[in-house]
Amino acid sequence: MLNGRNRNTNLANPLMTPQFAPGAMAGLRVIDLTRVLGGPYCTQILADHGADVIKVEPPAGDEVRDWGPPFHEEDAAYFVGINRNKRSIGMDLASVGGRAILMRMLEGADVLIENFKPGTLEKWGIGSDVLQEKFPKLVHCRICGFGADGPRGGNPGYDAIIQAMTGMIAATGSPESGPMRIGVPLVDITTGLYAAIGILMALSERQKSGKGQFLEVTLYETGLAIMHPHTANYFMHGKPPSLTGNEHPNLVPYAIFPTRTDDIFIGVGNDGTFRKLCKEIGKPDLGTDPRFARNKDRIANREALRTELGAVFSLHEAEPLCNRLLAAGLPAGPVQKIDQALTNPHTIYRGDVIEKDWYKGVASPIRLDRTRPSLRSLPPKFSQHAREVLAEFGYSDGDIDGLVEKGVVCEERKR
């Protein structure tokens, strides 16, 4: 208890927030020119916390609208999962008229985020130097594969390709499986997180300098940055990581073990925790056994320890065992499928699944006390807010009709 209230309950389900309560990013206007995953993931973080995110889509729409099944009214779950709390306008930025609208939108914007191939905005005459001169307070974030310069400057980037090129795939898998791609688009998602952090840093600096700035976040640098501890290990001993499957290169035990029912994961970070684990499972002698007493000993004798622990765990059921170990402060968890994770009592209690009408999603994990996230609007249909947005920027109904007629503004996807 803190200040007479349960802190966890206070920070739980974001839908407990009044629908239009301001979030931490309320008052921030973001012009989002990104597509696919990294950029939209970044802007959903900001949108969940109150930013006004205007998603500018090309005439064909964000292609992940088609990355299904499953679909809801022709929009794939892939799109739906990363585009809530945004407004959409379809616009042809390759046209002079489209760029004129964009420049008007930027007059009142705080952030521009885009993931065009480097050089595209320069080709259109609105590169970062032009934007900085015309909108000195604008924070301009570019997400791209490799950056604008260097031997691979301007090359396109894709999550799995970056996983391959930064050592991630070579460090994932077992001797039996061979190198494996990580099963979630980790590079894309983390790039979106880094972009959000970078934008917030630039906005914070703007409060002191009064100036915006350009920032670039690349998939390639993100891939290298998250390769810990493999890069740190390599810098120290010069050896690339081997394929250890679910085992940890620096810690033992840190792996999956079968039980009488399901698999569990045990993660031990220090010698004291290991001794406590051994005592809790009724094998205190393992904690003082010279083969296992210190982490470096356990690494040298990992197979022998796996056999010892496996024999004990095989006598137990996964869920009760993990509950007992967790209650004792020990790191253990059942290996669950996604349906089990989403319906877990803790997930439900914390309000981690949010719903509105037909929509379900995973809530923002950033739980601020006063300025909480909220689900204000569902993922938009293509160009759903075109007329609303343009009217806010001073366009009349006649102006909008003319822009639609010329193909500058698109109310239907051009496939």
Entry pTM = 0.91
Within the chain, which residue ranges are assigned CATH 3.40.50.10540? 7-227+353-410
Tell me what pLDDT residue 13 has: 53
Tell me what pLDDT residue 22 has: 82
Tell me what pLDDT residue 244 has: 87
Tell me what pLDDT residue 10 has: 45
In the chain, what percentage of residues exceed pLDDT 70? 95
Identify the band that residue 6 occupies on the pLDDT scale cut at 50, 70 and 90: very low
Identify the band that residue 32 occupies on the pLDDT scale cut at 50, 70 and 90: very high
**Annotated active-site positions, please?**
188
Residue-wise pLDDT tens digits, 382-413: 999 999 999 999 999 999 999 999 999 999 99
The answer to whether the Cα torsion of 286, 259, 172, 39 is positive or negative is negative
pLDDT(120) > 50: yes
pLDDT(2) > 80: no
Residue-wise pLDDT tens digits, 126-149: 999 999 999 999 999 999 999 999
pLDDT(9) > 80: no
Q: Which CATH number fits domain 254-335: 3.40.50.300, 3.30.70.120, 1.10.10.10, 3.30.1540.10?
A: 3.30.1540.10
In the chain, what percentage of residues exceed pLDDT 90? 93
Mean pLDDT of 174-183: 95
Residue-wise pLDDT tens digits, 218-255: 999 999 999 999 999 999 999 999 998 999 989 999 99
- Average model confidence (pLDDT) for the chain? 94
CATH superfamily of 7-227+353-410: Crotonobetainyl-coa:carnitine coa-transferase; domain 1 (3.40.50.10540)
Within the chain, which residue ranges are assigned CATH 3.30.1540.10? 254-335
Mean pLDDT of 318-326: 96
